[in-house]
Amino acid sequence: MVLNAAIAIITAYLLGSIPFAYIAGRLLKGIDIRQVGGGNMGAVNTAREIGLVPGLLVLVADIAKGALAILIALWLDVPLMLVFVAGFAAVVGHNWPVFLKFKGGKGAATTIGVLFALTPAEFAISLALIVVIIVITSNVRLAVVIGLAVLPIIIWQINGSGMLIIYSVIMFLFLAARSLPSTREAMAKAGDRKNLIFDHAYHFWQTRKSK
């Protein structure tokens, strides 16, 4: 049991540490994705600075590594609490990857992967809400915040698992805390404040609008 738990958690962290956005930036444009655009090592910044297709591929890969961390922990048959720890370790790996001297992204897509693997039916509803909000507002940050904020309510209505509700709240709060510095920066800029609800700078597929 102890060995399986250690394998699950270490594997989850290493999976989370795979910097797909950084790799895409280096391979396709010879840039460090953390040094351009919004500075985040994530799918949205990749789509904006490198291209829509690379951004979508990074999104899928970052979601997959969170989901895979959960599936491996379940396959190793560790207790549910340790499955939760493995999921969190994957997000920590994305945020502080060992392969990039512990300087990574915010972990939104990896968090989505973790929660989707744990609550597929419930998260499907949350994901649909996220997509609708992105289409309407072009604001990915707002969409993810709302989608993850309502997920505990959806779990409560459909599943009723108190542990899953608490875990989804913890994961949301962790992501919110991780995103707080960039949110404060946006609030301090007049141009960004105008985009807090509707992003006027980008289409919903995250390519820059022509002026």
pLDDT at 193 exceeding the cut of 60? no
The domain spans of the chain are 2-193
pLDDT in tens, 130-186: 999 999 999 998 999 999 999 999 999 997 789 999 999 999 999 999 988 776 766
pLDDT at 190 exceeding the cut of 70? no
DSSP string, 170-196: HHHHHHHHHHHHHHHHHHHSHHHHTTS
Reported pTM:
0.92
Amino acid identity at 145: V
Question: Does 91 or 187 have the greater pLDDT score?
Answer: 91
pLDDT in tens, 64-110: 999 999 999 999 999 999 999 999 999 999 999 999 999 999 999 99
pLDDT at 11 exceeding the cut of 80? yes
